[in-house]
Structure 1
Amino acid sequence: MSTAVVQEDLVEYGFRRVIITITAVLCALLEIVDTTIVNVALNNMRGTLGATLTDIAWVITAYAIANVIVIPMTSWLSQQFGRRNYFATSIIIFTVASFMCGQATNIWELVAFRFIQGLGGGALLVTAQTIITESYPVEKRGMAQAIYGMGVIVGPTLGPPLGGYLVDNYSWPYIFYINIPIGIIATFLTLTFVRSPKYGNKLKANQVDWIGIFLLSAFVGSLQYVLEHGQQDDWFNDGTITFLSVVSLLGLFFFIWREMTYEFPIVNLRVLKDGNLRIGTVMCFILGFGLYGSTFIIPLYTQSILGWTATDAGLILVPSSITTAILMPFIGRMIQKGIPQSYMVAIGFFIFFIFSYWMHIEMTPDTGVENFFWPLIMRGVGLGLLFVPITTLALSTLSGKSIGEGAAMTGMMRQLGGSFGIAIITTFIARFNQEHRVNLISHLDPAKTVVQERIAALQRGFMSKGFSYDVALEKAYKVLDFGVTKQSTVLSYMDVFLYLGVLFLLCIPITLLIKRSKNKVSMSDAMH
């Protein structure tokens, strides 16, 4: 059977296509919301489960490790088990694990079930993208990517406000229980409406690349741990971090060697010979860096510096997501009309630079909610112009099953970019904070009149409330110290946004390396 016929076999029309699109977007949304929904519930989990801050970080780390291990294997697993069966099984694993997370009675039970949830969830992202792509005729695939992109962009932003609301009004297990009804509906719709492409012969058990799976897990798992825990464990001064860094490097080296020489690789790295895909994976990494990095830093700043609630901190990102969602269909149409995606990507990077620089200017210890609105609208426009054009560009010169393998590669790089982004931003905040604190304290010379007057005024204030002379003086110094800490933290956030903006600005010349595809962007027959 020719590729074209297989393609047409999978194209859906009318009601069926609407249902398949809703199912796939719902599953992608489920997976991505769960990467950020726990962020605002960590304090409550610590109290209930009696966990330390280091222990509770594993709730995020375990999920991310499982995600990044599974994503590059999705193309291969789909071919082995049939896409519909694999997709439905992944939803069931994700849903059951969500229920078990809510039932967990100690921290390590929760971490184990989060890992299993991540194994089910990682498959949902790339498989959903392929199902949507193949359900639309070739000329409408830019629009298909725009619809999928809405879920991927809105997801990380939807997590914190939804999690905040559930934690504030119910309790933390409900952030997992909310997945159960959606998972049941998605499983039913998948088994009823989604169809699998016809694959060639499946591999026998002795042909399965078990060594590749082990090396990939060692590389990604170790790297993810190093990134998540490096800063709090003092990087290479910690034996575990040093050991796992070596494991990660060796794992990467032997994984690349294995996949390039084995006849049936678990991840087909040869697909990276395509120049556009190579550039696309780099851009997806940077997109993940910006998307997850800014989603991480804004709630952190609003809660720790401005004193907002978890719900309010999450809601601030909603206008940005709505802007992206509104833009997506228009960008899909622009791609269909043949407007070069490289132009859109270059403009998107520049707009993201404007957003980052604007945030750098606006941040103070008492910035008002109104100061965030327009910069975050710019963020929404920038992400809209980056997500779909980068994805379609990366896959535009591929054909056949290489498209599915390329999609898995871009998905993995976006997730890794997010992990790198959060880890590097956390490290930079800690380092910049120390530098700014030292600089600010050096300017607080007790011999200066203005400093003496400030301390005396604070002391008088505390004495008027009944504190003794010595206690009031001690409290005055503490207030001054708190002010320095707050100011140095704000300055470190400002620095991070400035460097994030420069990173995006430096990406614009990379768009010049992109080759124009002779064909219309076609992400057809993925994973065949």
Structure 2
Amino acid sequence: MAIFFCYVYIIVDSVIQLSGIATIYTAFFSQWEYMHWIMTGLLALMMIMVMLLVKPVRGPMFIPLLGIDWIGALLWAAFMMCFTFICVYGNYFDWWDSGEIRGAALLGIACLCINLWRASFLHHPYISFQAMKNRNVIRATAIYLVFFTLIATEHVFEHSYAANILGFDETNLIDLNWYVFARIIAGCAFTYFTFAIRKWRYKTMTAIAFGLAVIYLAYFYFVIDYGVEKEMLFVPLFIRGAGAVIISIVFLTSIVQSGLPFQVFPQALTINGFTGAVMGATFGPAVIGEILRRTMAKNADLLSANIVDFNPDLTHIPIARIYGMVQTQALVVSMKEIYG
């Protein structure tokens, strides 16, 4: 399974990066509407390939969609939607001072409690306690939340830094995806030869992934400035992406090898998808975004006070320009502080 997951992450993560590159360059060299025709053509090509190359196989028995806890599925989906809404729009609605966030929190807690109550007596709950209490599932959930919070600066800082501070246009921004694409290949290859083939330990692979995350944060802490060249961003983006791929493959494999029976195994994978793709991807940016908002307000106040106290000759400069200079400087200082 470790070998299989290496191939899976090469395909899935690579396609995510390449689709963004294809979209921007289609819009750059022609009209953005052509992307719809490209996607339609690729979907038609996929359908034709399936019809021509895949042979239908009829199993010895028919398995209908009976016995599935559809109510549990809807409740778990509602809980994850509420969790995502709070993390994504919490800063926008000013967190618990708004009725929207409080309502989403109450609805999410209610859905979670009902799910746990139903799992205590249903014969086939959507996610059973056996899956939720599995040691490897709990460990993977905790590691995902910690690790993806560490590298959440990817979603909060990097685009703003490259676009607003360095002045990159859309084509230069999307060129950074090639760096991420290279890290996917390197991270999967490294995991394949070490973890899948040579059977390196889980702790070793986890230490390597967290070490890469620390290098990524330290690199930006020492390098972030106003005049960074695009090529200088290759190292942090490469290292950050490789660490994320390693963590994902290693802990997905740990869930597979946790000894769960086949009936419970898909439930553990569902939890892995929730924690990795939903909670890990939204909780970290919400935390880092809130820290950035508070840190930037503090630094903007300090910089504004310094300008007023020590630069009386700046009175002839328009206030809007001074405000923009303060905000830009505060953003860079705050990002450096948070990276540290």
The residue type paired with residue 84 of structure 2 is: Q
Cα distance in 2 between the residues matched to 1:299 and 1:197: 49
Match of 1:413 in 2: 275
Match of 2:288 in 1: 425
Q: Does 1:494 align with 2:336?
A: yes
Match of 2:322 in 1: 480
Cα distance in 1 between the residues matched to 2:148 and 2:37: 27
Cα distance in 2 between the residues matched to 1:374 and 1:183: 35
Cα distance in 1 between the residues matched to 2:60 and 2:293: 52
Query: 1:143–1:329: 8 Å Cα contact kept in structure 2?
Result: no
Query: 1:156–1:295: 8 Å Cα contact kept in structure 2?
Result: no
Query: 1:162–1:311: 8 Å Cα contact kept in structure 2?
Result: no
| SS state at 1:444 partner | helix
Residues 5-54 of structure 1: per-residue CA shift (max 9 Å, x gap): xxxxxxxxxxxxxxxxxxxxxxxxxxxxxxxxxxxxxxxxxxxxxxxxxx
Cα distance in 2 between the residues matched to 1:193 and 1:492: 57
1:381 to 230, 233, 242: 242
Query: 2:80–2:274: 8 Å Cα contact kept in structure 1?
Result: no
Query: 2:149–2:288: 8 Å Cα contact kept in structure 1?
Result: no
Cα distance in 1 between the residues matched to 2:143 and 2:62: 32
Shift of the alpha carbon at 1:487? 0.9
Shift of the alpha carbon at 1:240? 1.6
Query: 1:365–1:486: 8 Å Cα contact kept in structure 2?
Result: no
How well do the aligned residues superpose, as a CA RMSD in angstroms? 2.9
Residues 94-119 of structure 1: per-residue CA shift (max 9 Å, x gap): xxxxxxxxxxxxxxxxxxxxxxxxxx
2:87 to 227, 238, 247: 227
Query: 1:274–1:398: 8 Å Cα contact kept in structure 2?
Result: no
Match of 2:220 in 1: 359
> Which sits farther off after the overlay, 180-189 or 194-203?
194-203
Q: Does 1:346 align with 2:207?
A: yes
Cα distance in 1 between the residues matched to 2:56 and 2:157: 38
Query: 1:149–1:328: 8 Å Cα contact kept in structure 2?
Result: yes
Q: Does 1:438 align with 2:280?
A: no
The residue type paired with residue 135 of structure 2 is: G
TM-score by length of 2: 0.86
1:253 to 107, 113, 124: 113
1:391 to 242, 252, 257: 252
Shift of the alpha carbon at 1:293? 4.9
Shift of the alpha carbon at 1:343? 0.5
The residue type paired with residue 483 of structure 1 is: M
Shift of the alpha carbon at 1:308? 0.8
Cα distance in 1 between the residues matched to 2:18 and 2:264: 32
Cα distance in 2 between the residues matched to 1:311 and 1:142: 36
- The percent identity for this pair of structures is 17
Match of 1:370 in 2: 231
Residues matched between the structures, number: 335
Shift of the alpha carbon at 1:351? 1.4
Cα distance in 1 between the residues matched to 2:289 and 2:148: 15
The residue type paired with residue 387 of structure 1 is: S
Residues 141-175 of structure 1: per-residue CA shift (max 9 Å, x gap): 32221111123443554454443323434455555
Tell me: higher relative CO, structure 1 or 2? Use CA pairs within 8 A at least 6 residues apart. Answer: 2
Change in CA separation of 1:194 and 1:482 when aligned onto 2, cut-off 3 Å: farther
| SS state at 2:123 partner | coil
The residue type paired with residue 233 of structure 1 is: F
Residues 429-476 of structure 1: per-residue CA shift (max 9 Å, x gap): 322221111121122234x3xx235x27xxxxxxxxxxxxxxxx252x
| SS state at 2:120 partner | helix
Shift of the alpha carbon at 1:302? 0.4
Query: 1:215–1:252: 8 Å Cα contact kept in structure 2?
Result: yes
Shift of the alpha carbon at 1:411? 1.8
Cα distance in 2 between the residues matched to 1:351 and 1:496: 17
2:265 to 403, 425, 437: 403
Change in CA separation of 1:199 and 1:418 when aligned onto 2, cut-off 3 Å: farther
Match of 2:137 in 1: 277
> Which sits farther off after the overlay, 258-267 or 161-170?
161-170
1:181 to 25, 41, 57: 41
Residues 467-497 of structure 1: per-residue CA shift (max 9 Å, x gap): xxxxxx252x433221111011122322343
Match of 1:64 in 2: none
Change in CA separation of 1:172 and 1:497 when aligned onto 2, cut-off 3 Å: farther
Query: 1:227–1:423: 8 Å Cα contact kept in structure 2?
Result: yes
Cα distance in 2 between the residues matched to 1:275 and 1:212: 23
Cα distance in 2 between the residues matched to 1:282 and 1:199: 40
Change in CA separation of 1:292 and 1:425 when aligned onto 2, cut-off 3 Å: closer
Change in CA separation of 1:307 and 1:328 when aligned onto 2, cut-off 3 Å: same
Shift of the alpha carbon at 1:272? 2.6
1:237 to 77, 92, 97: 97
Gaps of 5+ in 2: none
Shift of the alpha carbon at 1:355? 0.6
Cα distance in 1 between the residues matched to 2:282 and 2:58: 32
